[in-house]
Amino acid sequence: MRTPRHVIVLALTLVALVAAGCSGEDSTEQGGDDTAAIQARLQAAQQAITDAKGLIISLKTTELPSGVTGLLSASGRGYQGATRDDAAFTGDVTVVTGGGSLTAEVVAVAGKVYAKTSLTPVFLAIDPATLKAPDPASLLGAKGDGLPIILTKTDDVAEKGKSRDGKTVLTTVTGTIPGAVIQDFLPTADAEGTFKVTYRLTDDDILTDANITGPFYADGSDVTYAIVLDPTDDATEITKP
């Protein structure tokens, strides 16, 4: 007895649908596994920073939107509150204000910020909020927050391939960070905004650099900050100048 043609077609269609459903389920599960693996790598990168005795830090942008007062760059060394009683920083900070830029030697320690510029021969206590800039020590973080926390607060993570920096193989990871997380260490950031981030990790899960783009200032224009957090064994104490 021959099987009707329409029955054969129906059977084949059902087989195809079941196969497609199984394939989709596997793909979703694999995507979940990929996400978990990437998040684990970012967690390891954050732990390497948090465990470090000291950090070399660099945060900079090429320019700010016209008319904006804010942070152009900060570079120096410091340590986190996770390893000491308080986070501290010493280095150079450049802010844009009044249409021009101002660079100062800065020491941030024990909740106070001191700056020395070419206009002042000595360190003076300042309030960085008046310049729409953060306390540089807050970038390093107190008891585990600050810039390092972005690594474990990143959503929508995805691996975007590998590249080389000399002999070092780097993995590029992208994602998004809620504005409220950014605002914790850069108070001018839009807490309701979403910030795009790109990380580069070594095979040992060490963060080489990151780029964060989003509404850092009230005018709404996006700004991109390039960030380096380099763990070191330098435990030199930073003191009030």
Q: pLDDT of the chain along its 241 residues, tens only?
A: 444 544 443 343 433 333 444 444 433 334 456 999 999 999 999 999 888 889 999 999 999 988 888 999 999 999 886 556 678 999 999 999 877 899 999 999 988 999 998 888 899 999 988 877 888 888 887 655 678 889 999 999 999 999 988 889 999 999 999 999 998 888 889 999 999 999 999 999 999 999 999 999 987 789 999 999 888 888 889 999 9
Does the global pTM surpass 0.85?
Answer: no
Q: Is residue 155 part of a domain?
A: yes
Neighbours of 211 (CB within 10 A): 15
Q: Number of folded domains in the chain?
A: 1
Query: Does residue 27 sit within a domain?
Result: no
pLDDT of the residue at 240 = 92
User: Looking up tokens 């394939």, which residue turns up?
Assistant: 23
Q: Is residue 8 assigned to a domain?
A: no
Residue 203 domain boundaries: 46-232
- Domain contains 1: no
Position 30 in a domain:
no
pLDDT at 200: 97
Q: Residue 236 has which token pair?
A: 């030199």
Q: How is the chain split among helix, strand and coil, in percent rounded to 5?
A: 30, 40, 35
What's the CATH number where 180 sits? 2.50.20.20
Q: How far apart are CA 78 and CA 137, in angstroms?
A: 8
Q: Name 128's Cβ contacts closer than 8 Å, sequence gap at least 6.
A: 113, 134, 135, 136
Q: In what order do the strands lie in the sheet with 168-178?
A: 124-126, 112-116, 100-109, 88-97, 70-79, 54-60, 223-232, 207-214, 194-202, 168-178, 155-165
pLDDT at 67: 87
